[in-house]
Structures are given as structure tokens and as C-alpha cells.
Amino acid sequence: MGRCSWHRHPAGPCGLEAGATTAAVELLREGEVVALPTETVYGLAADALNPLAVAKIFEAKERPRFDPLIVHLPDEQWLERVATVDERSRAQIKKLIAQFWPGPLTLVLARQPIVPEIVTAGLETVAVRMSSDSVFAEIISAFGKPVAAPSANRFGRISPTTAQHVFDELSGRIPLIIDAGPTAHGIESTIIAVLANRIDILRRGPITAEQLSEFGTIHIAAGGGKISAPGQLATHYAPKTPLRLIDNAKTFKPKEKQRVGLLAWNTFAPEERRFAAVRTLSEHQDLLEAAANLFRSLRELDDLDLDLIVAERVPAQRLGAAILDRLERASHGSDN
Ligand code: TXA
Ligand code: MG
């Protein structure tokens, strides 16, 4: 079966041929971890109701146990088996689910005892979502139970948007990576908590504050000083190369002999030789395309052994706010 074998430690990601999805379901049943595509980023999945299986996620990612995982549901019927919906919020939650599920919206709700503590890191709440990715949906519905799935990267690093990214970070540690091509959204799901009419955005993502504002009063908890989701740690999404946010590359001059890579939002003249490498987020300044390209472009620049990456700020509205949030975290800790 060559590269695509689901015996331990395959030599590469598996395409959808050769019964790979069936193998993923079998591995989940056996309490193993598998890397799966979702519509946001690739996830590292295990049976959410099996604490030993979930422990393998933490081991493979080197993720600290205080950081809780998102539980992905096979269907809406599972919602109130893993979570309790507060009566004051029920109407709002129902509307949000009707509008955005399946899709990149994660809800933080009170947890039911069926969810093992290792999943929620001992919190009384659980984060739940339902992915709209067709491969993910096929696998989880065949499995028939919720799966816990964080992004399939080593802890603190950039989330994977291709199966190859997962392979680069986790090969030798997990038995199967399902390759269904680059993910659609390219950034992780929006995380919210709902209390009556109030919607707290804990992590910005593909479902924007503007979209959510039709469903309640928005409060942005993301990006503030207080950490409400541990994944909001300031150093998340860190490339190895120092990264600095700038307004416009036109006015940026690298120091002598400094090899600088540019992550561009604005159109950039290719004859410019100031930059050692340039990646443009979207030729047409389309925020959807920019989000989908963000992590891949960052990884590519990070692999070039540059002295510095400069990233142009994108507009702060709609999806731009979620992109900026990732860039700010990627630049944290770089004093450049
Ligand atoms: O798009 C996504 O959400 C991807 C795909 C794979 O589904 N998953 C993902 O998972 O981004 P992860 O583990 O990389 O990020 C989940 C975030 C973390 O910041 C975690 O702290 C937060 O969700 N989280 C999980 N449970 C929580 C809870 N009960 N309360 C607050 N935050 C929670
Ligand atoms: Mg993550």
C-alpha cells in the first residue's frame, strides 16, 4: 500500500482511496488517534468518551493537560447528551445552530458527566461543534459517537491546513493521516459562549462578530488580557522565525544583509528585491482567500530560515479580525 498504509507510522498521508476512511473508523473504535480534515484546519481525533484514547491526543501533540479539547458531534441529537443547554439561552442556541451548523462555530456549554474530565481539563463546561467537512462527517457518522479533536499540530505551533503539514509535525506519532486536500476556511472555528441574549466571542474565526451580532449582543473576550480559552495564550500560532506586523511593506526597509520575508496583503511589485521571499495572502484582497492561505504561507516563509517575517495588517473588519488575531499571536514574543 506504499505511503498510504494505516499500520503504525505511515510514510505519508492517505488519500481517500484504498479504504482509508474505513480504516479511520476502525482506529477510532480501537481507541487510537487519527488525523482528519475538517472545514477549518486538520484535526487530531479520538473517541471523546474514551479517556485513554483522548490521552493519546495530548501525548502526540505534547499538549498540556490544562488545555481542553473541542468535542465534535456526529449530529445535533448528541448535543444534549454531552452538554446542558441553559433555559435562558435555549432559544438563542437553537437559532445559532440552525444558522451555522454544521460549520465552523463552537459553543461552550455546561458539560454532562458523560464527558471525561481529560477532555474538558476539569472544567465544568465543554466546547462542542459539528464539522461541515464531508469526509469528516462520513467518518464521524460511521463511528456514531462524538470525537475530541484539537488542531493536528504540536502544541503552540501553527495549525495544519494540509495533510502534509500534519505529517511534518506528527509523523511517527500517529497511525493515520487522511488527506482530503487543503481545508476550506484555513483558520480555526469561532468559539462562543452564550448567556441569554449575550454572545461572548472567546476565539475569533470564520463566523464573524458581524454575522453573530444578528443573534445577540456581542462581547469580545478574545485577544484581551484575560485568558478565557487556554488556546488564547498569547504565544499561540508561533512560527520559529520572528514575525513583525506592519501597516504597509512600501515603507519597510530591511537592515543590511537582513533576510526578510513578506506576508503581503497589499499588491506588491515583483521587481522589488528588498525581500528574500514574498507570499501574497490574496491577489484580489479577498479575506476568505486570505484566511485559507494564511497558515500555509506562514509555514512556507518559516521554512526559509529568514531573519524576520513582516506581515502587513489586513483590514480589521469581518474575517480580517480573525486573521489579525492569528498574526498578532504569531508576532508575540518577537521583539523585532
Ligand atoms: O476549527 C477548530 O475548532 C479545530 C478543528 C480541528 O475542529 N479545532 C481546534 O481545536 O482549533 P484546538 O484544541 O486547537 O482549539 C480549541 C480551543 C482551545 O483554545 C481550547 O482552550 C478551547 O478551544 N476550549 C476547549 N474547551 C473549552 C472550554 N470548555 N471553555 C473554553 N475554551 C475551551
Ligand atoms: Mg490548536
Q: What is the pLDDT of residues 191-240, one digit of tens each?
A: 999 998 999 999 999 999 999 999 999 999 865 444 455 555 656 678 99
Find the 5 Cα to ligand 2 centroid distance in Å: 26
Q: Which residues, 6 or more positions from 37, have their beta carbon under 8 angstroms from its beta carbon?
A: 43, 133, 135, 136, 163, 178, 179, 180, 181, 183
pLDDT digit string (tens) for 300-317? 999 999 999 999 999 999
DSSP 249: G
**61-74: b (≥16 Cβ within 10 Å) or e:** bebeeebbbbbbbb
Which residue has the CA at smallest separation from atom 22 of ligand 1? 229
**Ligand 1 pocket, residues with Cβ under 6 angstroms:** 38, 40-41, 43, 67-70, 104, 106, 108, 120, 123, 125-127, 149-151, 188-189, 191, 202, 229-231
**236-254: b (≥16 Cβ within 10 Å) or e:** bbbbebbbbbeeebeebeb
Please tell me the number of the ligand nearest to residue 232's CA.
Answer: 1
- The count of C-alpha atoms lying within 13 angstroms of the C-alpha of 232, restricted to the half-sphere facing its C-beta, is 21
Q: What is the pLDDT at residue 224?
A: 45
pTM: 0.92
Cis peptide before 68 (omega within 30 of 0): no
Q: What is the pLDDT at residue 226?
A: 45
Q: What is the pLDDT at residue 222?
A: 66
Ligand 1, atom nearest to 205 Cα: 1
Sign of the torsion angle spanned by Cα atoms 26, 141, 212, 215: negative
The low-confidence residues of the chain, meaning pLDDT below 50, are 1-3, 5-7, 224-227
